[in-house]
Amino acid sequence: MSNGAQTTLIIPALGGIYDGLGRFTDPLVRVITGLLLIPHGMQKLFGSFGGNIEGTIGFMSKMGIEPAAFFAYYIGVLEFFGGIMLVLGLLTRVVAAQVLGFMLVAAFVVHLPVGGFFWTNRGYEYPLMWAVLALVVLIRGGGEMSLDKRIGKEF
């Protein structure tokens, strides 16, 4: 809760930069989240970067996530095509909600039991960060620089 007090910048000259770039922060989070999801989908769907769908299916099956083939393809499609949709800001909240759900499962069902917190130990810190980014995008929506805004409709 605000007490009405205002903060002052330690370096006042930066105020103009912050004000000028502030409108780009939401699209930056949305676009980078989408761009970083796309290669993961490419691994699963197209065998890029040393990955393949069979390996994902096997991993999910081993973890008890069934039907493994359905979920492997679903996640691959979500990462690749959903990543593109986030970059474009198309059906932004729908995609972000799915990414949020997927990453919460990844964090607490897949990574927490095997690795604890740190990503370097296959822990849940990285998928949890993804979940928070997806939550921010879900709350903020596509924004001014999105196809959602251009179309004039948003969830």
Mean per-residue pLDDT, 18-27 = 94
pLDDT at residue number 3: 66
Write the pLDDT tens digit of every residue in 61-113. 998 999 999 999 999 999 999 999 999 999 999 999 999 999 999 999 989 88
Write the pLDDT tens digit of every residue in 30-71. 999 999 999 999 999 999 999 999 999 999 999 899 999 999
Encode the chain in three state secondary structure: CCCCCCCCCCCHHHHHHHHHHHHHHHHHHHHHHHHHHHHHHHHHHHCHHHCCHHHHHHHHHHCCCCCHHHHHHHHHHHHHHHHHHHHHCCCHHHHHHHHHHHHHHHHHHHHHHHHCCCHHHCCCHHHHHHHHHHHHHHHHCCCCCCHHHHHCCCC
pLDDT at residue number 6: 83
- Flag whether the pTM goes above 0.85: yes
